[in-house]
Amino acid sequence: EIDTVINFAAESHVDLSFGNSVGFTRTNVLGLHVLLEAARRCDTIARFIHVSTDEVYGEVEGDSATESSELEPTNPYSCSKAAAEFICKAYIRSYKMPITITRGNNVYGPHQFPEKVIPKFVFRLRRGMKCCLHGDGSSRRNFLHVFDVAEAFDIIVHKGQDHQVYNIGSNDEISVLDLARLLIRSLGLREAGSEDDLIEFVPDRAFNDCRYAITCERLAELGWKQQ
């Protein structure tokens, strides 16, 4: 019998969402809605965890966003994820479904698909190509290893509360430019101070949030800690 659903499924590449926004709505909103309907009709479901994103908070200036911060998504991808969250909230209120929502930072780890920034940069550098950065590379992001993410979901499944939201966040905030320089040094391609000849700048996104930042004290109270 199925008793737990964790919905990781999503179109999640922001760049692609600018050119195929309807596809993102179809997958991230309608897809989630269909899954909720299936779960609602299954009497054995005791927990439904919807995996959202820190990007639903929009661009964060100053203090990091908490789970109660207002949602201000700025691109088609994050808007579709915010819309999915509101459908979850409707199913909580209307059907009393045991839904929990998570909002996480960027994830990295082994075998990640190379559309994401870290494997993409590594892929290009190992093939003699440069890291290509949007704008001036000053946008700041936080990155969380997939092992920490897996531990967070294990804790949420077994200790999390229904109808609650949990941020899954990292303290490792870094600009995309500094990330590219770090990867270049880590691969032994350049010494510190000479990395920039392996970096090129490309036109920025239609809109690019300067910073995402979240707090995760609520998850820490359940025993989670970034390793």
The catalytic residue positions are: 54-55, 77
Task: Pick the closest to residue 32 from 95, 110, 73, 90 (CA basis).
Answer: 90
Across the chain, the runs of DSSP E, i.e. the strands, are 4-7, 47-53, 99-104, 106-108, 131-134, 140-145, 165-168, 173-175, 199-202
DSSP for 10-57, please give it: ----HHHHHH-HHHHHIIIIIHHHHHHHHHHT-TT--EEEEEEEGGGG
Quick check: 126 and 199 in contact, CB under 8 A?
no
Task: Pick the closest to residue 166 from 180, 181, 154 (CA basis).
Answer: 154
CA angle (107 as vertex; 101, 113 as ends), nearest 5: 115
Quick check: 184 and 195 in contact, CB under 8 A?
yes
